[in-house]
Chain A
Amino acid sequence: MDHLPKWADVALVPLISLVLAALVSALVLLAIGQDPVEAFKVMVSGAVGSANGWGYTLYYATSFMFTGLAVTVAFHAGLFNIGGEGQAQLGGLGVALVCLALPWPHWTLALLAASLGAAAFGAAWAAIPAYLQAKRGSHIVITTIMFNYIAAAFLVFMLVDVLRPAGSMDPASAKFPVGAKLPSLTDIPLIQDLFVRYNPDGTLRLTKAGDIAYVNIPANVTLFVAILACVAIWALLWRTRLGYQIRAFGKSEKASLYAGISPLRITMIAMLISGGLSGLMAINNVMGQSERLLQGSGEGAGFIGIAVALMGRNHPIGIFLAAILFGFLYQGGASLGLNTSIPIEMRVVVQGLVILFTGALDMMVRMILTWIFGMFRSHKLGAA
């Protein structure tokens, strides 16, 4: 069997898959009587054509990085964690409990504590399916899906009966104290320059107080926590004994038994880390954006994490890039719904096609490319 050159394997295959997904999306748009070129322009300008667009794209990307990493860690242990959504919701509960517990003096302390809370709650939610898998052989795909529903129901109960402030009609927690407010990207020197607002005539817009005005965006410091998590997970998987054991177990449970790697221990640890990462997502949206706990706080990111991990080849660098791509799709799709008559559901279609082509049909592109490269090579050999 021939092999593709590394660059083609890593860059060319996903790129071609993306182009194919875009082409089929264009066909779908044509079929519903829309102009695909116009739609594409709106998506690009909506997602990356303005400071505001970038603010949302990066915000979504941050969430997807966490959930993508979560799927990846479990995947390397040979486990398919579909419970990211539920674990993220429990993570949100952890964040809310921590943030509401104290009048936090500074956001750094709040961030640290909330991260611990989020990770602990997410991990705890993953621990039960993990234990059932390792001890009872209950398939983790089934149990994690079930736990998504249990999490959603549990959260409704918590919001309605426990966390809802007296007199409020909203199934939501109280707003978090000011001390727990995370800085937006527009609060950070240098980076904030990317998000300045302009007047229609092209001059800088100023606030009433005379300061420079920035666009209002949800992207916040959690982005850096997510990037840090990418680095940490890379180091964990490829530089530590634990990561070695996780990968060995994921490749061959039988061989791991021979090597003295405990299936129970690795299943538990990998799922705890995975659930913890899903839970950490909540500091981005619950703490960084909504600043209170709402229903459905997973925002679907738990599921998109599966696609991100798939497209990112279960490698943190790939996940970083794939998360940004899906952030782009998410935000671009939203602007489709806002600025055109194309229904917002179209973004689900586009995402589905991207997942189909980059994930499921990956082998198809790879086989065709391998064949083309093979032809090219034998041609060169023949000439020589």
Chain B
Amino acid sequence: MTAAADMDTTGGRQATAAPFAIELKGVSKSFGPVQANKDINIAVPRGTINGIIGENGAGKSTLMSILYGFYKADAGEIFINGRPTAIPDSQSAIRAGIGMVFQHFKLVQNFSVLENVVLGAEEGALLNRSLAKARKLLSDLAREYELDVDPDALIEDLSVGHQQRVEILKALYRHADILILDEPTGVLTPDEADHLFRILKGLRDQGKTIILITHKLREIMETTDNVSVMRRGTMVGTVKTSETSPEALAELMVGRKVLLEVEKRPARPGARILSVENLSVRDEHKVERLKGVSFDIHAGEILGIAGVAGNGQSELLAALGGIARATGRVVVNGNDLPLKGANGQSRRAAGIAHVPEDRQHLGLIMDFTAWENVAFGYHNAPQYQRSWLFMDNAAIREDTAKKMATFDVRPPIPTLAAKSFSGGNQQKIVVAREMEQDPELLLIGQPTRGVDIGAIEFIHKQIVALRDQGRAILLVSVELDEIMSLSDRIAVMFDGRIMGFRDPAKTNERELGLMMAGMTGDDPKIGAA
């Protein structure tokens, strides 16, 4: 104890011996009345992978933004390699050896990989020298860490996984010793994610320090050495990953016991509710995005659509929800739905409710109040009208208060603007609106994207409950865990086609992952394997 204390007093001079790559002491940050970070203490040992988990709004991003110089802490100190370091801007962060890989890449689409890597770190007026240097470094890194990317490829031609590698290369080119990754796997296939983790482990073994921000417990358990949990702006604990479990972490994050597995009885499918035949959708550039998919959904059944984002799932939902024009045939309860002059109103009349993938741009009007959003899409409903001319705003507000209570929306204030709610509560408003219509068929896209663990549990329960009432549910999600735990049947989509159907009990992530990458499948048109 005393020895450690002695070392601390001389910390500055013994910097080279300091075991921690990053140490934060008493870091606090408020935005007006909201305290985003309260007295955060964390020490990250050099040469380790450290996870930071927490629900939305727990303060993870704020903390990392302080570390990367986007925000200035109100109080507290930052030590990099034992040396007290001020980080007023991101240039200082880079000089201190910190590199950041953002969730949304910051790449110039029509530049080559090399050009993106040297951008902002060019040496001299002519590019040749930096480019040559970068080319050499890239080939070195590619050999060492499986970080292989064609240096002359244009970013726009690269897959998402490769673009992410370019982001990592950018940081390494700037001599980053500490690499921060913010939700890096959100856009990757399971295979790509595995590859990323191999890269990260390789970097760690070379002595780099890695901070991984994620909300996926599985990734934390598989990849990290230590994990820090944040809750409501405070650091509730740091534990060795080998000494904890997903359940324990979830409980730390939420502050109460959380059910990670969805409890559900086997499905008892009834009559056929939805029948889709050869459905195709072209985008505004006339490119075919959905290429003739066919499937059925029965009453009391959840069909899960697995796939990496951008493989036609959005177009499928848009066509069924009456947003996009389509060709083919869609039958609901024996009635053909119009696919050309499609309209969200006629879909609702046919008993289809739709929780869209993008709640902020489709499902809600962020400037509208909660009650105005509860009427959104159902503004013609008779119970919301006072007369032929006027709407019954009071009735809508009352109905909203009821729905907010049922779905535990917080705060339960109908007159609050949608943008004032957290992501999870916004989603609950949309889910409440659509589920409470008692639809025949529920289309639900990314039901828990950006939603915290407590709300995920709740929304999953509601989906299963609706199924048990004998409704048909089409679930689209890029979270394979979610698809596997909720679905009664899984369809995997790749490049606008359904690669095949699987029984969740008789498949595994590996098989689904290969199908999601288009490697194998049942569709004869693919010429599988």
The residues of B that contact A247 with a CB separation of less than 8 Å are 368
Tell whether, in the assembled complex, residue A258 and residue B344 are in contact, meaning their CB atoms are under 8 Å apart: yes
The residues of A that contact B321 with a CB separation of less than 8 Å are 258
A244 sits at the interface (CB 8 A): yes
- What residue in chain B is nearest A258 (Cβ atoms)? B362
The interface size bin for chain A is 20 to 34
A235–B321 Cα distance when bound, in Å, is: 31
Tell whether, in the assembled complex, residue B32 and residue A2 are in contact, meaning their CB atoms are under 8 Å apart: yes
Tell whether, in the assembled complex, residue A255 and residue B367 are in contact, meaning their CB atoms are under 8 Å apart: no
Tell whether, in the assembled complex, residue B389 and residue A240 are in contact, meaning their CB atoms are under 8 Å apart: yes
A219–B67 Cα distance when bound, in Å, is: 65
B471 sits at the interface (CB 8 A): no
A1 sits at the interface (CB 8 A): yes
With A240-B390, A258-B323 known to touch, is A248 a contact of B365 (CB < 8 Å)?
yes
Tell whether, in the assembled complex, residue B344 and residue A260 are in contact, meaning their CB atoms are under 8 Å apart: yes
The residues of A that contact B372 with a CB separation of less than 8 Å are 244, 248
The total of Cβ contacts below 8 Å across the A-B interface reads: 69
The residues of A that contact B368 with a CB separation of less than 8 Å are 247-248, 251
A195–B168 Cα distance when bound, in Å, is: 78
B322 sits at the interface (CB 8 A): yes
Tell whether, in the assembled complex, residue A374 and residue B32 are in contact, meaning their CB atoms are under 8 Å apart: yes
With A260-B343, A260-B347 known to touch, is A255 a contact of B390 (CB < 8 Å)?
no
Q: Nearest-CB distance from A362 to chain B (Å)? A: 17
Among A1, A252, A259, A374, max chain B CB count under 10 A is at: A259
Among B322, B348, B364, B376, max chain A CB count under 10 A is at: B376
- What residue in chain A is nearest B32 (Cβ atoms)? A2
Q: Nearest-CB distance from B357 to chain A (Å)? A: 11
A6 sits at the interface (CB 8 A): no
Q: Nearest-CB distance from B395 to chain A (Å)? A: 13
Q: Nearest-CB distance from A42 to chain B (Å)? A: 43
Q: Nearest-CB distance from B136 to chain A (Å)? A: 46
- What residue in chain A is nearest B389 (Cβ atoms)? A240
A252–B31 Cα distance when bound, in Å, is: 28
With A239-B393, A374-B32 known to touch, is A257 a contact of B323 (CB < 8 Å)?
yes
- What residue in chain B is nearest A262 (Cβ atoms)? B343
Q: Nearest-CB distance from A236 to chain B (Å)? A: 9
Q: Nearest-CB distance from B283 to chain A (Å)? A: 14
The residues of A that contact B32 with a CB separation of less than 8 Å are 1-2, 374
Tell whether, in the assembled complex, residue B379 and residue A251 are in contact, meaning their CB atoms are under 8 Å apart: no
B375 sits at the interface (CB 8 A): yes
Tell whether, in the assembled complex, residue B31 and residue A1 are in contact, meaning their CB atoms are under 8 Å apart: yes
A136 sits at the interface (CB 8 A): no
A34–B396 Cα distance when bound, in Å, is: 59
The residues of A that contact B385 with a CB separation of less than 8 Å are 241
Using an 8 Å CB-CB cutoff, how does the interface string of B352-376 with A read, 1 for contact, 0 for none?
Answer: 0010100001111111100010011
A308–B284 Cα distance when bound, in Å, is: 38
A245 sits at the interface (CB 8 A): yes
Q: For residues 237 through 276 of chain A, which have their beta carbon under 8 Å from a beta carbon of chain B?
A: 239-241, 244-245, 247-248, 251-252, 254-255, 257-262
Using an 8 Å CB-CB cutoff, how does the interface string of B14-47 with A read, 1 for contact, 0 for none?
Answer: 0000000000000000011100000000000000
Q: For residues 323 through 343 of chain B, which have their beta carbon under 8 Å from a beta carbon of chain A?
A: 323, 343
Tell whether, in the assembled complex, residue B361 and residue A257 are in contact, meaning their CB atoms are under 8 Å apart: no
B85 sits at the interface (CB 8 A): no
Q: For residues 53 through 83 of chain B, which have their beta carbon under 8 Å from a beta carbon of chain A?
A: none
B346 sits at the interface (CB 8 A): yes
- What residue in chain A is nearest B386 (Cβ atoms)? A239
A247–B393 Cα distance when bound, in Å, is: 15
The residues of B that contact A374 with a CB separation of less than 8 Å are 32
Tell whether, in the assembled complex, residue B391 and residue A239 are in contact, meaning their CB atoms are under 8 Å apart: yes
Tell whether, in the assembled complex, residue A255 and residue B365 are in contact, meaning their CB atoms are under 8 Å apart: yes
The residues of B that contact A381 with a CB separation of less than 8 Å are 33
Using an 8 Å CB-CB cutoff, how does the interface string of A6-34 with B read, 1 for contact, 0 for none?
Answer: 00000000000000000000000000000
The residues of A that contact B33 with a CB separation of less than 8 Å are 2, 377, 381
A261–B323 Cα distance when bound, in Å, is: 10
Using an 8 Å CB-CB cutoff, how does the interface string of B378-389 with A read, 1 for contact, 0 for none?
Answer: 011000010001
Q: Nearest-CB distance from B420 to chain A (Å)? A: 10
The residues of B that contact A254 with a CB separation of less than 8 Å are 361-362
B470 sits at the interface (CB 8 A): no
The residues of A that contact B366 with a CB separation of less than 8 Å are 251-252
B377 sits at the interface (CB 8 A): yes
The residues of B that contact A257 with a CB separation of less than 8 Å are 323, 344
Tell whether, in the assembled complex, residue B361 and residue A241 are in contact, meaning their CB atoms are under 8 Å apart: no
- What residue in chain A is nearest B354 (Cβ atoms)? A258
Q: Nearest-CB distance from A203 to chain B (Å)? A: 53
A241–B372 Cα distance when bound, in Å, is: 11
B345 sits at the interface (CB 8 A): yes
A262–B322 Cα distance when bound, in Å, is: 12
The residues of B that contact A245 with a CB separation of less than 8 Å are 379
A1–B31 Cα distance when bound, in Å, is: 7
B379 partner, pick from A244, A252, A377, beta carbons under 8 A: A244
Which A residues lie at the B interface, using CB under 8 A? 1-2, 235, 239-241, 244-245, 247-248, 251-252, 254-255, 257-262, 374, 377, 381
| 13 A/B residue pairs, CB under 8 Å, sorted by A | A1-B32, A235-B390, A241-B379, A241-B380, A244-B372, A244-B375, A248-B372, A251-B365, A251-B367, A254-B362, A255-B365, A260-B343, A260-B347
What 9 A-B pairs are tightest by C-beta distance, nearest first? A260-B344, A260-B345, A259-B377, A258-B362, A2-B32, A251-B365, A260-B343, A239-B390, A251-B367
**Given pairs A240-B390, A374-B32, 7 additional interface contacts (CB within 8 A):** A244-B379, A247-B368, A252-B361, A255-B363, A255-B365, A259-B379, A381-B33
Which B residues lie at the A interface, using CB under 8 A? 31-33, 321-323, 343-348, 354, 356, 361-368, 372, 375-377, 379-380, 385, 389-391, 393
